């Protein structure tokens, strides 16, 4: 039974999990040079297959989900930079060494789609890079929230909100998430309204002085 005849496995990344903003991916030189793919391509006098395979690896990193390829030969011929499907079909078997049919899940619909995946080389690469992407995105989100909390707290201080609320980290976090999910700017009026809507705040706050007026003392 060939790789393309086996029951497809589920690809670890789902629809929407991409790496399209990455312009690089790691190439493990010793593993690549010692692979059966390179050995067979050289022995069979098909060195050009190696270059074509690397083009498809690079294209797979830009696909959705990352690390997969379409199954349609017209699409594959285009991705591999061939001028005709016929030229592609002549090298298809050698170039797609190690690629298998896989199922891709769409979390929004629950449906699965059949695509090509490379459980050996490509799967390990995309899992590693996607985990790093998630970690970076989480760190970026935390930094953005920290900046928002700082700006919100400053506005609350200028509105002369009392200290217990200024020191409430949970309240500031809730306010920051509110502004993160809305299109509102962090202005004094919006902070005042958010305190009522998000925190149920009913205390008095000082109106922020207009130009030419100095803040009232505490």
Q: Are 122 and 67 in contact (CB under 8 A)?
A: yes
On whether both 144 and 59 belong to a single domain, the answer is no
User: For residue range 164-197, what is the model confidence (pLDDT) as tens digits?
Assistant: 888 888 888 888 888 888 878 999 988 888 888 8
Domain containing 77: what range? 3-119
- Comparing CA positions, the residue from 168, 181, 177 lying closest to residue 148 is 177
On whether both 92 and 179 belong to a single domain, the answer is no
On whether both 107 and 164 belong to a single domain, the answer is no
On whether both 161 and 110 belong to a single domain, the answer is no
- Strand order through the sheet with 112-117: 9-10, 100-105, 112-117, 68-69
Number of residues assigned to the chain: 218
- Domain membership flag for residue 76: yes
Average pLDDT of the residues of the chain: 82
On whether both 170 and 107 belong to a single domain, the answer is no
On whether both 104 and 144 belong to a single domain, the answer is no
Q: Are 112 and 14 in contact (CB under 8 A)?
A: no
The overall pTM is greater than 0.75:
no
- Domain membership flag for residue 133: no
Task: List Cβ neighbours of 17 (8 Å cut-off, separation of 6 or more).
Answer: 64, 65, 66, 130
Question: To which residue do tokens 């030189």 refer?
Answer: 29
- Domain membership flag for residue 8: yes
Q: What Å distances lie between residue 19 and 10, 38, 68, 87, 215, CA to CA?
A: 19, 26, 11, 29, 49
Q: Are 179 and 186 in contact (CB under 8 A)?
A: yes
- Domain membership flag for residue 129: no
- Comparing CA positions, the residue from 207, 44, 25 lying closest to residue 133 is 25
Q: Are 116 and 68 in contact (CB under 8 A)?
A: yes
On whether both 25 and 76 belong to a single domain, the answer is yes
Question: To which residue do tokens 């909390």 refer?
Answer: 149
Q: How far apart are CA 155 and CA 153, in angstroms?
A: 5
82 has a pLDDT exceeding 90: yes
Q: Are 80 and 52 in contact (CB under 8 A)?
A: yes
On whether both 113 and 152 belong to a single domain, the answer is no
- Which pLDDT does position 209 carry in this prediction? 47
- Domain membership flag for residue 44: yes
The number of distinct structural domains making up the chain is 2
On whether both 159 and 218 belong to a single domain, the answer is yes
- Domain membership flag for residue 125: no
On whether both 153 and 197 belong to a single domain, the answer is yes
Mean pLDDT of 39-58: 94
- Domain membership flag for residue 134: no
Q: Given pLDDT bands bounded at 50, 70 and 90, which one contains residue 52?
A: very high
Q: Which of 84, 119, 154 is the last residue of a domain?
A: 119
Q: Which of 119, 154, 189 is the last residue of a domain?
A: 119
- Domain membership flag for residue 67: yes
Q: What Å distances lie between residue 83 and 55, 77, 87, 88, CA to CA?
A: 15, 7, 7, 8
């Amino acid at each position: 039974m060939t790789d393309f005849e086996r029951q497809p496995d589920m690809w670890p990344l789902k629809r929407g999990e991409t790496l399209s903003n990455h312009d690089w991916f790691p190439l493990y030189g010793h593993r690549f040079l010692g692979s059966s793919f390179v050995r067979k391509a050289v022995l069979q006098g098909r060195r050009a297959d190696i270059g074509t395979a690397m083009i498809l690896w690079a294209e797979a990193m830009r696909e959705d989900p990352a690390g997969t390829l379409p199954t349609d030969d017209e699409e594959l011929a285009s991705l591999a930079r061939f001028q005709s499907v016929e030229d592609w079909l002549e090298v298809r078997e050698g170039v797609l060494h190690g690629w298998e049919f896989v199922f891709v899940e769409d979390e929004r619909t629950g449906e699965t789609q059949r695509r090509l995946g490379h459980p050996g080389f490509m799967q390990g690469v995309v899992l590693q890079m996607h985990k790093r992407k998630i970690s970076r995105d989480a760190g970026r989100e935390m930094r953005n929230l920290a900046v928002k909390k700082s700006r919100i707290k400053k506005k609350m201080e200028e509105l002369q909100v009392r200290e217990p609320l200024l020191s409430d980290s949970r309240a500031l976090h809730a306010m920051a998430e509110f502004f993160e999910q809305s299109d509102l700017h962090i202005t004094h009026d919006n902070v005042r309204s958010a305190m009522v809507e998000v925190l149920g705040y009913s205390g008095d706050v000082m109106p922020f002085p207009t130009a030419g007026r100095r803040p009232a003392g505490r």
